[in-house]
Chains A and B, each alone.
Chain A
Amino acid sequence: MSAAVIIGASHAGVQAAASLRQAGWQEPVILLSAEKDYPYHRPPLSKGYLAGEKDEEQLLLRAPDFYREQGIELRLEDPATSIDPVARKVVTRSGSFGFEKLLIATGSKARPLPLPGAGAQGTFTLRSMMDARALRDGMRQASAAIIIGGGFIGLEFASTAIRHGLDVTVLEAQPRLLSRSLPAALADFIRDRHVSSGVRFRFGDQVAAFEVSGGRVTGVRLGDGQVLAADLVLVGVGGEAETALAQSIGLDLAAGGIHVDGHGQTSRPGIYALGDTAAFHNAYATAPMRLESVQNAVDQAKSAATHIMGGNAPLVAVPWFWTDQYDLKVQMAGLARPGCTEIVRGDPADGAFSVLQLEGDRLVASYTVNRAADHMASRRLISEAPAVNVALASDASVPLLRAVKAAA
């Protein structure tokens, strides 16, 4: 059997299937999905979908008949249950499928909060279309929401929920928002934008339990015994890679994900891992890491498809990511490194500014609010790494691409 079997019809999985066909893979492509929905874009689930601006059809990654037309056997509700790496077959709920190449694109799952009362009606996490449907229905009946975790999912939901008319409180265990992913100036700016719309924040509190009555959540109890009332609780405390299948066949792990090289190949030749579940030592990182982003999913899938077809296009893309909250478009490129210097372009008071992080005179990371041109320029500057002129880069009226030192 010479099929390519892809576990997980995630953004990475679907891209891998499409890229394999595009690159001329003639053998069967079997795309296994645990979900019943045609593969969809996840980022809008916490934004446009919940806000009612986009319907489910608008979220589809591809038209339903794309898969048939491309000769991709999409098997919905047929999750992989085990892998036999010696006989080279995947067992699923419905049967078993031999493979020549195996691509694991199982994504990540919401980290649970195993506290008393977890799972009560009215408590939610948000990763999948099913989650989003349940949360949307929950929002209709709710009046007060507590969001546990001030990360991207939680903040995007906060901006949607407050505009929906809910009372919204965000609980963040750290002293500030997004401490691992954004510079303080930017995180505080985002916090202030939320506060101006009526969102309340509590920093540094521990959550001890969900308060439940008659099976329904009624609030959250904090470590000091104080109870905050709510009829909807969203838990957004991060994601964990789905690595159970990979671990069952002894694939090497790193940073909580499946360790892969630049081609997406795992420690076992012919078996690849892509997207949220993969950990890769990116050229811009100091160690292997997982990147939960559309960009990373797409680029890893393309590299893997190329490698499977005998080509050589290891992943070198600059990581980028975005979040939309209210009228703010926040875009990130590159990866922060310890010891960077930071410059701010533009005035946060204007609602549009950028924070640039440099190592020496090279740009390594960029965070922009409503400055898309800076974001796009940053991607190029991080990739090409010319010496940056700090004075020019600090001047928001100078296009960022011009803020480079003349070649010696």
Chain B
Amino acid sequence: MSGSITIRFRKESGQQIEVQARPGISVMEAAVMNNVSGIEAECGGACICATCHVYCDQVTEGVLPEMSGEEDDMLDMASAERRATSRLSCQLRVSDKLENAVFVIPENQF
């Protein structure tokens, strides 16, 4: 795939999955299209179910869009512990700035 971006998903157990993602789609969609389990994304990216929660690594520092109030509210109610690096992956767009970024998937999304 030309122009695709490599991003990685890591389970808290340590297992890591590398995927090639097309710029412009969301990180959640990249996970779903590559059968990454643990990203449930029940609502399909409408920012309403909080089941695509991820923890972001340092590659993403300063390159992710600012969090909307809505995402902030949903993360407060996410099933797994909220951390400073928590985001909803449906709200993050894949771009070249995310090359080699790692997203850690929490143990549970419900």
Chain A residues in the interface with B (C-beta under 8 A): 41, 43-44, 48, 54, 57-63, 65-66, 69, 294-295, 298, 322, 324, 329, 331, 370-373, 375-377, 380
Contacts and interface: CB of A to CB of B under 8 A. Distances in A.
A324 B46 contact: yes
A390 B26 CA distance: 40
A38 to B, nearest CB: 11
Top 7 A-B residue pairs of the complex, sorted by shortest distance between their CB atoms? A41-B44, A373-B73, A376-B77, A372-B73, A372-B70, A63-B33, A322-B48
A298 B48 CA distance: 14
A48 B44 CA distance: 11
Nearest to A22: B37
Contacts of A66: 35
A65 B43 contact: no
A345 B35 CA distance: 41
Among B34, B43, B48: residue with most chain A CB under 10 A: B48
Given A372-B73, A373-B73, A376-B73, A63 B42 contact: no
A60 B46 contact: no
Contact of A60 (B32, B47, B50): B32
Contacts of B70: 329, 370, 372
Contact of B46 (A43, A62, A375): A43
Interface string B72-98: 011011000000000000000000000
Interface residues of B, number: 22
B74 A376 contact: yes
B94 to A, nearest CB: 11
Nearest to B77: A376
Contacts of A376: 50, 73-74, 76-77
A373 B74 CA distance: 6
B29 to A, nearest CB: 5
A372 B77 CA distance: 10
Contacts of A41: 44-45
A322 B33 contact: no
Interface in B54-110: 69-70, 73-74, 76-77
A62 B31 CA distance: 10
Contacts of A294: 42-44
17 contacts: A44-B46, A54-B45, A58-B29, A58-B45, A61-B32, A63-B33, A66-B35, A294-B42, A294-B44, A295-B42, A298-B42, A322-B46, A331-B48, A370-B70, A372-B47, A373-B73, A376-B74
A65 B49 CA distance: 25
A324 B34 CA distance: 27
A377 B74 CA distance: 10
Contacts of A324: 46
Nearest to A372: B73
Interface in B2-35: 25-26, 29, 32-35
A57 B73 contact: no
Nearest to B31: A63
A370 B72 CA distance: 12
A376 B51 CA distance: 13
Contacts of B47: 329, 372
Contacts of B48: 322, 329, 331, 372, 375
Nearest to A370: B70
B35 A69 contact: yes
A62 B77 contact: no
Contacts of A69: 35
B32 A62 contact: yes
A372 B10 CA distance: 28
A43 B76 contact: no
A44 B44 contact: yes
A43 B73 contact: no
B31 to A, nearest CB: 10
A58 B46 CA distance: 12
